Amino acid sequence: MKKISKAVFPVGGMGTRFLPATKSIPKEMLPIIDKPLIQYAVEEAIEAGVKTLIFITSASKHAISDHFDPKPLLRQKFTDEGKTELVDKLDTLTTQITRVFIPQGEPLGLGHAVLQAKEVVDDEYFVVILADDYIKPEKGVNATKQLIDASIKYDASVISVEEVTDDRVSSYGIVDVGNNESDVNLIQSIVEKPKLEDAPSNLGVIGRYVLSPEIFALLEETQCDKSGEIQLTDALAKLLDKPNNLYAATLKGKRYDCGHKLGYVQATIDSALDDNSISKQVADFIHKL
Determine the pLDDT at residue 121.
Answer: 95
Tell whether the model's pLDDT for residue 59 goes beyond 80. no
- Give the strand pairing for 246-250 and 184-186: antiparallel
CA angle at residue 161 from 156 to 162, to 5 degrees? 155
- pLDDT score of 173: 87
CA nearest neighbour of 190 among 153, 245, 152, 139 = 245
Residue 1 pLDDT class (50, 70, 90 cuts) = low
Rounded to the nearest integer, the mean pLDDT of the chain is 91
Q: Shortest CA distance to 60 belongs to which of 89, 96, 23, 30?
A: 23
* 3-state SS assignment for residue 149: helix
246 three-state secondary structure:
strand
Residue 29 pLDDT more than 70?
A: yes
Model pLDDT for residues 238-251, shown as the tens digit of each residue: 999 998 999 999 99
Q: Where are the alpha helices (DSSP H) in 105-228?
A: 110-115, 118-121, 143-154, 215-221
Nearest CA to 148 among 175, 117, 127?
127
Mean predicted confidence (pLDDT) in 104-127: 92
Residue of 147, 121, 126, 105 whose CA lies nearest to 13: 105
For the residues 131-156, what does the mean pLDDT come to?
93
pLDDT at 7 over 90: yes
State how far the alpha carbon of 280 is from the alpha carbons of 67, 114, 273, 286, in Å.
Answer: 30, 42, 7, 10
Check pLDDT > 70 for residue 32. Answer: yes
Ordered DSSP codes for 16-63: GGGTTGGGTS-GGG-EETTEEHHHHHHHHHHHTT--EEEEEE-TT-HH
Enumerate domains of the chain plus CATH numbers: 6-288 (3.90.550.10)
Average pLDDT score over residue span 163-175: 88
Helix 261-274 and helix 279-288: axis angle, to 10°? 120
d(CA 268, CA 198): 34
Which of the 8 DSSP states describes residue 138? B
For the segment 211-257, what is each residue's pLDDT rounded down to a tens digit? Answer: 999 999 999 999 888 888 899 999 999 999 998 999 999 998 899 99
Q: Is the pLDDT of residue 24 over 90?
A: no
Query: What interhelical angle do 37-47 and 143-154 show, nearest 10?
Result: 40
The pLDDT > 70 percentage for the chain reads 99
pLDDT at 270 over 70: yes
% of the chain surpassing 90 pLDDT: 61
